[in-house]
Structure 1
Amino acid sequence: MERTLAMVLAGGLGERLYPLTKVKAKPAVSFGAIYRIIDFTLSNCLHSGIRRLFVLTQHKSLPLDRHLRLGWSNLFRAELGEFLESVPPQQRLVREWYRGTADAVFQNIDLLSHERPQFVLILSGDHVYRMDYRAILDFHLTKGAEVTIACTTVPRSQASRFGVMEVDRNDRLIGFEEKPSNPKPLPDDPDHSLISMGIYLFNTETLVRAVIKDAKRRDSSHDFGKDVLPDLVRNKARLFAFNIRRELPPLFHYWQDIGTLDSYYQAHMELLRPDPPLPLHHDEWTIRTYLPPLPPAVLQGRVQIRHSLLAPGCLVEEGAIVENSVLGYGVQVGAGATVTGCVLLPRVRIGARAKLLRTIVDEEVTIPEGETIGFDLAMERRRFVVSEGGVVVVPTGVAFQPSSVS
């Protein structure tokens, strides 16, 4: 993979995941008790032998930059030509912020000119999955492709959230439509559609030509899915679909775009299954991250813990009940508190006798003693954010009124 350079897109607003993106970029949002979302993409790069990475940042990037510096930069050997560099908009070519995914690459063409890779792997920093990128490169070379797009199948009812692809019998793209209102089904399965995973392997020359052409279009939104890929398909470029369910072993079949509060919550609940689709305990494909120095988790006295994940530094006090929940590092659950079906992000404090149901609590929030959250959604909508699926989200910086404490 020494001929391949990765560009990780990490600058989106993450509006659908708000308020978890209130103070940080989506790739820096906590996931799975100890990780940040971007850790999955970066771990895939390390396991795949990709040692040259640019992370293209933009909105609320300080927490992400700090995580990359503390947890990732020391893994790359500069004397061997390896690097992981965070790149905010440099505004060399245009006096603009990144206007879209394709524009982010266009504004950094000089980096490609300097590094001179043969292939460029465009990745998203806000998806949760495992993938061996060496397999997509082998497929790309075998097909003689100019662009290879990783893809998977989803129920047609969900496909409107993604780029929907049409392919011929040889896996060559004959159609690409971003977030269609009426997604085209698979020819042999009318209930499912083939969707892009937002993972694109380009021949460098093809990529450079495509983003330069797109930058000149005044009617473009400068997005790979909306503009660049459909244009390449129309112009008969050699685009091929790499179907992970067919080309990779089962370990790599899981992929989740946790772009909404409900999908974020559901992905956490899937981690708690007896046979989770994304097993975090897997020696062959570990997910790296950065954790501050923390003591072991402590369970004080008689507590009840069922079907839950507890990170280092957790403290669960006498009489507390934690069930079907994910507790990030440094979380404290007070005496007699009940936490059911919840995702508690790092350094959350749950007061004594508090009761929480189907609630996401953002980092460093303190829930007062005796507080009740998640049982009356009509009331919670007046205080917090409630997802379409009925999950309550307590944001960073929330101020509890004394009258809300029972």
Structure 2
Amino acid sequence: MMRDTLTVILAGGRGSRLEPLTRDRAKPAVPFGGLYRIVDFVLSNCLNSGMRNILLLTQYKAGSLDRHINLAWRNYFCRELGEFIDVVPPQQRFADNWYTGTADAVYQNIYAIEREQPRDVVILGGDHIYKMNYKPMLEFHRRMDADITIGALRVTRSEAKEFGVIQADLDHRVLGFQEKPEDPIPTPEDPDVYMASMGIYIFNARFLYEQLCDDATIEDSDHDFGKNIIPGAIDDYKVYAFPFLDENRKRDAYWRDVGTIDAYFEATMDLIGVDPLLNLYDEHWPIRAFQPQLPPPKFVFGSEGGPATRRGVALDSLVCQGAIISGGTVARSVLGPGVRINSYARVEDCILFDDVEVGRRSRLRRVIVDKGVRIPAETEIGYDPEADRARGFTVTESGLVVIARGDELSFAPEVARS
């Protein structure tokens, strides 16, 4: 079944609401959970579902994403067996502009899709955090002889206003579609539940080609699946909704759009609980990532007889390989590979990307620090929003501070390390 299916992952989003984390990288390439990139979740879903023919469509600032795919994912696919993951930059076959919408991104790569001669095309976003087996959805799509099948998530009324909302009958045949409605329509079986589009689509390949070519000729179209293709197909074609089957194996279904700094921070903090909402330790549905060749994390200072205030310790935190907590304290934080926390420093409720160094006696609270940034000794960040803004840091409405990659911070040489 999967051999005659092609997967197209849309990974070209600018991610402007995640700036400055997307200043030098595409949104799917943003680190998540210390070791992973956002795109690793949809790619792990594909691999675990047996989907091994993948086109990854990139656009903005794709260098980091391209490197990550080469490092983390190429070895999982065997060309000799007809498997592949191809990173496809914009081809500009039909126009000189960037992709103008999700449908336009697929349309401009229609030749690459046709070349594989798939029976069905699975279209996925590369910037959501969730676990899903796509095989049952494909089986449903073929059993219903559908032209389009849409992945659907059960949400509340307040959440529904941020999605495309699906109206379907009891057989899951789609009857209507509202794009971010002020007054969403609930499901027929439960007036408190709404079905939201997840941006997961399965198309009959021939039908997809016809729809994309027709849409490309409409000048006032947004060339978007949710705004144009789906609503235009409902009345005349077989469009179905497939309820989300969560492989996370928790009471509530887990699906996150980490499209803003605050949403990204909250989703990351989900990971550090005693019973985290997202289970990264499930051998049944592993999430794969690039594993850097680094030594284990190390915690130093704290032996008997040493000063009580100089102790390398991490509480309720994720600490990746290569990290050294050298006499500092970390609480409720996520530390990426190669992070160093120097003596007497305190890091609370923070996300530190790869190779960040925190100087002696510094204090960080509710701070996201991008790769390679060095925090000077005796620096305080996250305690005075106005002072943080004055230093050029991004500060969200909730008070989160974001320090971008390349920000001008340096250590005084005499106190550089513990």
Q: Does 1:27 align with 2:36?
A: no
In the other structure, the counterpart of 2:242 is 242
In the other structure, the counterpart of 1:102 is 103
Tell me which amino acid in the other structure corresponds to 1:339: V
Distance in 1 between the 2:191 and 2:273 partners?
A: 29
Q: Is the 8 A contact 2:169 2:188 kept in 1?
A: no
- Deviation string 1:382-405 (CA, Å, 9 cap, x unpaired) is 3311223322111112124999x9
Q: Is the 8 A contact 2:121 2:205 kept in 1?
A: yes
In the other structure, the counterpart of 1:63 is 64
In the other structure, the counterpart of 2:260 is 260
Shift of 1:75: 1.6
In the other structure, the counterpart of 1:353 is 361
Cα–Cα, structure 1 residues 327 and 213, in superposed 2: closer, same or farther, change >3 Å? same
- Deviation string 1:129-184 (CA, Å, 9 cap, x unpaired) is 11111111122123222111111122322333322221112111122122234433
In the other structure, the counterpart of 1:43 is 44
In the other structure, the counterpart of 2:385 is 377
Query: What is the SS of the residue equivalent to 1:194?
Result: strand
Distance in 2 between the 1:47 and 1:348 partners?
A: 32
Counterparts in 2 of 1:236-315, with a 5 A limit? Answer: 236-244=236-244, 250=249, 253-302=253-302, 303-315=312-324
- Deviation string 1:208-227 (CA, Å, 9 cap, x unpaired) is 11111111110011111111
Tell me which amino acid in the other structure corresponds to 2:212: V
In the other structure, the counterpart of 1:150 is 151
Cα–Cα, structure 1 residues 195 and 388, in superposed 2: closer, same or farther, change >3 Å? farther
Distance in 2 between the 1:297 and 1:24 partners?
A: 27
Q: Does 1:396 align with 2:395?
A: no
In the other structure, the counterpart of 2:326 is 317
Query: What is the SS of the residue equivalent to 2:284?
Result: helix
Shift of 1:298: 0.6
Cα–Cα, structure 1 residues 374 and 124, in superposed 2: closer, same or farther, change >3 Å? same
Runs of at least 4 residues of structure 1 off by over 6 A?
A: none
Identical pairs, percent: 45
Tell me which amino acid in the other structure corresponds to 1:398: D
Tell me which amino acid in the other structure corresponds to 1:17: L
In the other structure, the counterpart of 1:89 is 90
In the other structure, the counterpart of 2:308 is none
Shift of 1:249: 7.6
Distance in 2 between the 1:179 and 1:337 partners?
A: 45
Tell me which amino acid in the other structure corresponds to 1:250: R
In the other structure, the counterpart of 2:231 is 230
Cα–Cα, structure 1 residues 181 and 387, in superposed 2: closer, same or farther, change >3 Å? farther
Shift of 1:191: 5.1
Tell me which amino acid in the other structure corresponds to 1:121: V
Query: What is the SS of the residue equivalent to 2:3?
Result: coil
Q: Does 1:330 align with 2:338?
A: yes
Shift of 1:187: 4.9
Distance in 2 between the 1:307 and 1:192 partners?
A: 34
Q: Does 1:212 align with 2:213?
A: yes
* TM-score, structure 1 normalization: 0.94
Shift of 1:253: 2.8
Q: Is the 8 A contact 2:375 2:411 kept in 1?
A: no
Q: Is the 8 A contact 2:337 2:353 kept in 1?
A: yes
Structure 2 unmatched runs, 5+: 303-311
Query: What is the SS of the residue equivalent to 2:17?
Result: helix
Structure 1 unmatched runs, 5+: none
Query: What is the SS of the residue equivalent to 1:241?
Result: strand
Length, aligned pairs only: 401
- Deviation string 1:336-384 (CA, Å, 9 cap, x unpaired) is 1111111111111111111111111111111111111111223333331
